[in-house]
């Protein structure tokens, strides 16, 4: 499975355990341990050590040449969502659920006051002629649902608010 790793202005796609290609430049990964690598990219060497594995939103903490960096690691699904103008991070960043893409609300599956569990379906959003089930990223109590079926929403629009 291909993974794209982003830090500062660099982007490297890791396709296998040895050679990675993104935008025509190769990066060679040499494993030092399960959580550290030597990386050769565009003629430069980097020592990459994983301090915190990627969370649900893809953000992890690495040391790159000894400097601590917040690094985004995207699997193929996250890369596809980003290319389509969607964002995994927008959905996960807070307890409140925001539209990860523009679309139309087809169904609202919860009501204000409902207690929901992590992963519970909250609403169905149609985008690019596909139905997307929007799920809770944590457990909590719904405080507000400012959208209704048939309503068009833009990326980042609040879909479901949770009590603090």
Neighbours of 44 (CB within 10 A): 10
What is the structure's pLDDT at 113? 94
Stretch (H or E) spanning 19: strand 19-22
Mean pLDDT score across all residues of the chain: 79
Rg for the chain (alpha carbons), in Å?
A: 19
Is the CB of residue 155 less than 8 Å from the CB of residue 86? yes
pLDDT of residue 9: 62
Rounded Cα distance, 148 and 106, in Å: 8
64: its two tokens: 């790159």
Specify the 3-state DSSP secondary structure of 54: coil
Looking at the DSSP bridge assignments, the partners of residue 4 are 13, 74
Query: Which domains, ranges and CATH numbers included, belong to the chain?
Result: 3-77 (no CATH), 85-162 (2.40.50.100)
Residue-wise pLDDT for 94-124, tens only, equals 578 888 889 999 999 999 999 998 888 999 9
- What is the structure's pLDDT at 87? 55
């Amino acid at each position: 499975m291909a993974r794209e790793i982003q830090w500062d202005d660099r982007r490297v796609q890791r396709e296998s355990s040895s050679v990675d290609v993104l935008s025509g430049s190769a990066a060679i990964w040499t494993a030092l341990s399960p959580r550290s690598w030597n990386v050769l990219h565009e003629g430069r060497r980097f020592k990459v050590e994983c301090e915190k594995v990627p969370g649900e939103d893809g953000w992890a903490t690495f040391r790159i040449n000894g400097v601590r960096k917040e690094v985004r690691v995207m699997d193929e699904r996250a890369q596809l969502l980003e290319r389509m103008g969607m964002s995994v991070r927008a959905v996960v960043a807070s307890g409140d659920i925001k539209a990860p893409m523009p679309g139309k609300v087809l169904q609202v599956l919860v009501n204000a006051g409902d207690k929901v569990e992590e992963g519970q379906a909250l609403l169905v959003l149609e985008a690019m002629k596909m139905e997307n089930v929007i799920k809770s990223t944590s457990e909590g109590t719904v405080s507000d649902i400012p959208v209704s079926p048939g309503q068009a929403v833009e990326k980042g629009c609040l879909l479901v608010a949770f009590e603090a």
